[in-house]
Amino acid sequence: MAGLRNLFGNLRRSRTESEDFLLDAENTPHYVAVIMDGNGRWAQRRHMPAIAGHREGAKALKRTIKAARQAGIRELTVYAFSTENWQRPEQEVDDLMKMFGELIDREVPELAEKDVRVRFIGRRQDLSEKLLGKMEWAEKLSAANSTMSLYIAFNYGGRSEIIDAARAAAGNGLAAGEDVDFSKYLYAPEMHDPELLIRTSGEQRVSNFLLWQCAYCELYFSEKLWPDFGEQDLLEALAEFGRRQRRFGAR
């Protein structure tokens, strides 16, 4: 029973007591995740190739990072490429990989200057050396920053993460029945569980995102396609979160 309680204790590690103390009165979430969906439809409606939607989506991400930082969000976790997205047409995957590399080069110095820490979560072994090099460079450049952490889920799958973590835990010789803080084996052990998960484009599903971490997060669905998402939309989602009553299974 103690082991179970310890395991479920993780669900509530979203805030420590001292962090609670820092909370503002309006109940703004500190840890927010976003499934940035709808780039393809945005492009399709304009008879443009998918990459045009992804490029516009990158602008929406830039706006959202800025707005999130201003709103006092401490950790923003965004879904950029899933382990399932490799199934897309080769041209789209190639264009996306190229775009990510360019975005890192172009945007990370400015983010680092704004005291944003950049971290990538996902399976790294399937990515090109060139892209990996850029990702590592971005993480190193921004490692000491603390105003906001931006977690970019890239070649990320919630199931892969749990399997990788279970392997790492087993490799550490953890015996059955032993107390385990499973979260320390996740891709970013220091990341807090998101309090709010936003998905755009009207789809209401999780699509293999943060399966472990979102055990108790509040879900918010926006009808807007990701390239059309702006600061006001983020603020609306945050306001809605403020109206939710979270119980974590208790009274």
Binding string, residues 28-57; x marks residues near ligand IPE by CB under 6 A:
-------xxxxxxx--------x-------
Residue 211 C-beta: closest distance to ligand IPE, Å: 13
Contact flags string 57-86 toward ligand IPE, x per CB under 6 A:
----------------------xxxx--x-
Q: What is the nearest approach in angstroms of ligand IPE to the Cβ of residue 59?
A: 13
Q: Looking only at residues 19 through 58 of this chain, which bind Mg ion when binding is defined by CB under 5 A?
A: 37
- Tell me the site size for ligand IPE, rule CB under 6 A: 17
Is 37 annotated as catalytic?
Answer: yes
> Distance between CA 3 and CA 8 in Å, rounded?
9
172 an active-site residue?
no
Contact code string over 202-221 relative to ligand IPE, x by CB under 6 A: -x-x-x--------------
Residue-level length of the chain: 251
Q: What is the CA radius of gyration of the chain?
A: 18
What, of ligand IPE, Mg ion, none, does residue 167 touch, CB below 5 to 8 Å by kind?
A: none
CB nearer to ligand IPE: give 15 or 224.
224
Under the criterion CB under 6 A, does residue 142 sit at the interface with ligand IPE?
no
- Contact between 161 and Mg ion by CB under 5 A: the answer reads no
**Shortest reach from residue 117's CB to ligand IPE, in Å:** 21
Positions in the binding site for Mg ion (CB under 5 A)? 37
Please identify every residue annotated as catalytic: 37, 85
Positions in the binding site for ligand IPE (CB under 6 A)? 35-41, 50, 79-82, 85, 201, 203, 205, 207
